[in-house]
């Protein structure tokens, strides 16, 4: 491979971050646990929250605004990732008493990034704790009115029993291994190295998403037997043909759902589903939300 190791690692990270595999797991994890989940890069000198707000602590949401984030919070996250890089999945409590966890994602010996979660209490905070937090914030230069807002957000933060929280971390460690195994495959696809038959299949699927796409038809268009096609398609994409088609249709559905005048049943048939119930099941499985909930939440977010 001609690119230098740093660029290679960055390409692996970007491929993982934009992959359907990560998006599917992120939705499932956030829905099942009520915790946020991010995939961040391996450079521990840089840290900020991204635009993914699902399940994020209102306290962290209010306080941590990228470059203006509290320095104590930045320091905690940077130390957490350094420890995780050395010792594997690592949890700690930030200056405000919220749990924070980093799980390293590796491809062979390379550190590609970290899965990050937390922003919950694993022990019930006492009034004295926030008094210490407010003193720390005052030293950071936050005005009293802002600290009052933060207290309200602080009190809204979720609480999770330590044993349950550790089980969630164990799930992340397992998924980190799967992401590492997928990394090499993803970078091959990213660089245009996938088999020509898979490229032909993708193009055919994208051009005919609204039509029935049975395995026999797609494999024939790719010029392969069904068994051979299934094997190399799964190797190249990390998904079965059915899963890939469903996710492409759901991506289309998300765009259509932002058109408030279009009925959900019309969208289901437009994008190739044979029934509304089938569409609802597929959409919920992929996104963790029903189509109607997705529409209302996204339209409300866009209007705010």
Better-scored residue on pLDDT, 173 or 138: 173
Q: What is the pLDDT of residue 191?
A: 47
Q: What is the pLDDT of residue 130?
A: 81
**pLDDT digit string (tens) for 41-65?**
888 666 566 666 777 787 877 776 5
Displacement of CA 63 from its chain's centroid (Å)? 22
Q: Residue 67 pLDDT > 80, yes or no? A: no
Q: Residue 219: name the closest of 232, 210, 208, 207 by CA.
A: 232
Indicate the pLDDT class of residue 155, thresholds 50, 70 and 90.
confident
Whole-angstrom Cα distance, residue 40 to residue 233?
28
Q: What is the pLDDT of residue 76?
A: 82
21 shares its domain with 164? yes
**Helix 291-303 / helix 276-287 crossing angle, nearest 10 deg:** 60
Structural domain span for residue 10: 5-188
Q: What is the pLDDT of residue 66?
A: 39
Q: What is the pLDDT of residue 115?
A: 94
Whole-angstrom Cα distance, residue 226 to residue 245?
16
**pLDDT digit string (tens) for 217-247?**
999 998 889 999 999 888 877 788 999 999 8
84 shares its domain with 211? no
134 shares its domain with 260? no
Output the domain CATH number for residue 200.
1.10.10.60
Q: Residue 264 pLDDT > 60, yes or no? A: yes
pTM for this prediction: 0.59
Whole-angstrom Cα distance, residue 269 to residue 267?
6
123 shares its domain with 239? no
Instruction: Please report, for residues 21, 81, 89, 130, 167, the alpha-carbon distance to residue 125 in angstroms, rounded to integers and kept in the order given.
Output: 36, 24, 24, 8, 21
217 shares its domain with 177? no
Whole-angstrom Cα distance, residue 101 to residue 166?
10
Q: Residue 112 pLDDT > 90, yes or no? A: no
Strands 90-93 and 110-120: unpaired
Better-scored residue on pLDDT, 135 or 296: 296
Whole-angstrom Cα distance, residue 302 to residue 281?
25
204 shares its domain with 183? no
Better-scored residue on pLDDT, 137 or 260: 260
Whole-angstrom Cα distance, residue 79 to residue 101?
11
Judged by DSSP in three states, 302 sits in helix
Q: Where are the alpha helices (DSSP H) in the chain?
A: 5-17, 20-33, 58-63, 71-87, 127-139, 144-155, 162-190, 196-207, 215-222, 226-237, 241-257, 264-270, 276-287, 291-303
The residue among 158, 188, 218 that closes a domain is 188
291 shares its domain with 157? no
Q: Mean pLDDT check: name the lowest of 69-78, 131-140, 150-159, 290-299.
A: 69-78
Average pLDDT over residues 269-283: 94
Q: Residue 269 pLDDT > 70, yes or no? A: yes
Number of structural domains (the chain) is 2
């Amino acid at each position: 491979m001609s690119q230098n190791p740093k660029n290679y690692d960055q390409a692996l990270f970007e491929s993982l971050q934009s992959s359907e595999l990560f998006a599917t797991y992120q939705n499932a994890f956030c829905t099942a646990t009520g915790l946020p989940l991010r995939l961040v890069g391996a450079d521990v000198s840089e840290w900020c929250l991204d635009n993914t707000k699902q399940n994020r602590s209102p306290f962290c949401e209010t306080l941590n605004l990228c470059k203006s984030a509290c320095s104590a919070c930045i320091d905690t996250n940077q130390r957490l990732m350094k420890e995780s890089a050395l010792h594997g999945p690592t949890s700690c409590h930030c200056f405000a008493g919220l749990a924070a966890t980093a799980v390293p994602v590796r491809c062979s010996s390379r550190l590609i990034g970290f899965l990050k979660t937390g922003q919950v209490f694993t022990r019930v905070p006492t009034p004295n704790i926030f008094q210490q937090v407010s003193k720390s914030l005052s030293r950071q230069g936050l005005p009293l009115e802002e600290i009052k807002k933060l207290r309200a957000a602080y009190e809204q933060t979720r609480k999770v029993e330590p044993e349950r929280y550790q089980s969630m971390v164990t799930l992340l460690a397992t998924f980190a291994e799967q992401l590492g195994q997928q990394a090499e495959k993803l970078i091959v696809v990213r660089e245009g190295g996938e088999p020509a038959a898979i490229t032909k299949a993708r193009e055919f699927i994208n051009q005919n998403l609204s039509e029935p796409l049975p395995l026999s038809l797609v494999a024939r268009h790719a010029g392969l037997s069904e068994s051979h096609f299934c094997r190399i398609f799964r190797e190249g994409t990390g998904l079965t043909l059915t899963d890939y088609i469903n996710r492409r249709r759901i991506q289309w559905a998300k765009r259509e759902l932002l058109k408030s005048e279009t009925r959900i049943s019309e969208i289901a048939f437009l994008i190739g589903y044979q029934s509304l119930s089938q569409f609802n099941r597929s959409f919920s499985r992929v996104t963790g939300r029903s189509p109607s909930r997705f529409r209302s939440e996204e339209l409300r977010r866009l209007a705010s």
